[in-house]
Chain A
């Protein structure tokens, strides 16, 4: 038995990648065996894990689902693919949450930010040099398309106020608060608690600096409502936002969304 593109195939002594390519994709020009790039004429051995790939090819939705399924436990993939997540703020937290969820195969993302990519964003936000000057919603949407084109991404180029929150995010399964402004963080939690009871919510407070990793915690505020951060480290001169610590918080947020969508928290039935 060998594995080709995550699928088992019967093994025959002397079989090569070139042969496999002719059956799978005659245009394939990338060959990987057990993690190493090799030539097409390489002979295979029992137990080899191979990839036969054409450079630049975009996998179909079904194939993408299969690839994710190969990594995630059964049932996980179907749940994530059936879910929609809103992300408010696409800065240091939001851009990373979006990429993590897209990689894991979330079904849909509703992304909101009014801001533009600036050079000082690059120390932590998931943008690239050539995207400076672009709207964050546009730049991030493009990046997500390169990571997983089968996520349905909707962009909201809008400066949100408290009254918008319930209206704009009524259709999502989970909402992630990644704002910079503490007044909007409070306003948004208030709006969710008062008017959006059917939606899981993961907010943030205190992610600046390079303090102790262990102080970034995920705390349950209400059923289905969680807060991530150390609740103290405000962004300030001498305590800036930095990629590593912001990244810890962002991935705690993303993982908490996954836990809620997969009903991992027993006491969190909402709505």
Chain B
């Protein structure tokens, strides 16, 4: 199914959970803020939130150092 992530169309398997999608991008869950269809998700939702056809996802990934 097709979703949009950070403005780019991506093809993912039906029923993919947000956490799996983030991991597939090579990112660590703890360092990512996720907005799905206009809503900022709680951290504990990453493992239960299921993406659907047309999901609009915005991910902001942080790197360490300050």
- Given A190-B43, A194-B40, A182:B64 Cβ within 8 A: yes
Residue from the list A178, A189, A234 in contact with B63, Cβ < 8 A: A234
The answer to whether B63 touches A231, judged by C-beta atoms less than 8 angstroms apart, is yes
Verify if B30 is at the interface (C-beta below 8 Å from A). yes
Name the residue of chain B whose CB is nearest to the CB of A208.
B65
Name the residue of chain A whose CB is nearest to the CB of B40.
A193
Question: Cβ of A207: which chain B residues have Cβ within 8 Å of it?
Answer: 65-66
The answer to whether B60 touches A234, judged by C-beta atoms less than 8 angstroms apart, is no
Question: Cβ of A203: which chain B residues have Cβ within 8 Å of it?
Answer: 62
The answer to whether B65 touches A241, judged by C-beta atoms less than 8 angstroms apart, is yes
Bound-state Cα–Cα, A85 to B61, Å: 25
Question: Cβ of A205: which chain B residues have Cβ within 8 Å of it?
Answer: 61-63
Within B3-56, which residues are at the interface with A (CB < 8 Å)? 28, 30-33, 35, 40, 42-43
The distance from the CB of B59 to the nearest CB of chain A, in whole angstroms, is 10
Verify if A227 is at the interface (C-beta below 8 Å from B). yes
Residue from the list A181, A186, A235 in contact with B33, Cβ < 8 A: A186
Verify if A224 is at the interface (C-beta below 8 Å from B). no
Bound-state Cα–Cα, A2 to B40, Å: 59
The distance from the CB of A111 to the nearest CB of chain B, in whole angstroms, is 14
Question: Cβ of A208: which chain B residues have Cβ within 8 Å of it?
Answer: 65
Question: Cβ of A179: which chain B residues have Cβ within 8 Å of it?
Answer: 66
Bound-state Cα–Cα, A233 to B66, Å: 11
Number of interface residues of B (CB under 8 A): 16
Verify if A105 is at the interface (C-beta below 8 Å from B). no
The residue in A162, A187, A205, A207 that gathers the most chain B C-beta atoms within 10 A of its C-beta is A205
The answer to whether B63 touches A94, judged by C-beta atoms less than 8 angstroms apart, is no
Residue from the list A91, A183, A189, A232 in contact with B30, Cβ < 8 A: A183
Mask, A61-103, CB within 8 Å of B = 1, is: 0000000000000000000000000000101111000000000
The answer to whether B63 touches A233, judged by C-beta atoms less than 8 angstroms apart, is yes
Bound-state Cα–Cα, A158 to B31, Å: 21
The answer to whether B60 touches A182, judged by C-beta atoms less than 8 angstroms apart, is no
Question: Cβ of B63: which chain A residues have Cβ within 8 Å of it?
Answer: 182, 205-206, 229, 231-234
- Given A182-B31, A190-B40, A193-B40, A234:B64 Cβ within 8 A: yes
Verify if A180 is at the interface (C-beta below 8 Å from B). yes
The distance from the CB of A176 to the nearest CB of chain B, in whole angstroms, is 10
Verify if A185 is at the interface (C-beta below 8 Å from B). yes
Residues of A within 8 A of B (CB): 89, 91-94, 162, 178-183, 185-187, 189-190, 193-194, 203-208, 221, 227, 229, 231-235, 241, 246
Q: List 9 A-B contacts (CB under 8 A).
A: A92-B66, A162-B43, A183-B30, A186-B61, A187-B43, A193-B35, A205-B63, A208-B65, A231-B63
Residues of B within 8 A of A (CB): 28, 30-33, 35, 40, 42-43, 60-66
5 new A-B contacts at CB < 8 Å, known A182-B30, A241-B65? A178-B66, A189-B62, A190-B43, A231-B61, A246-B66
Going nearest first, the 7 A-B pairs with the smallest beta carbon separation are A235-B65, A234-B63, A185-B62, A183-B30, A182-B31, A182-B62, A182-B64
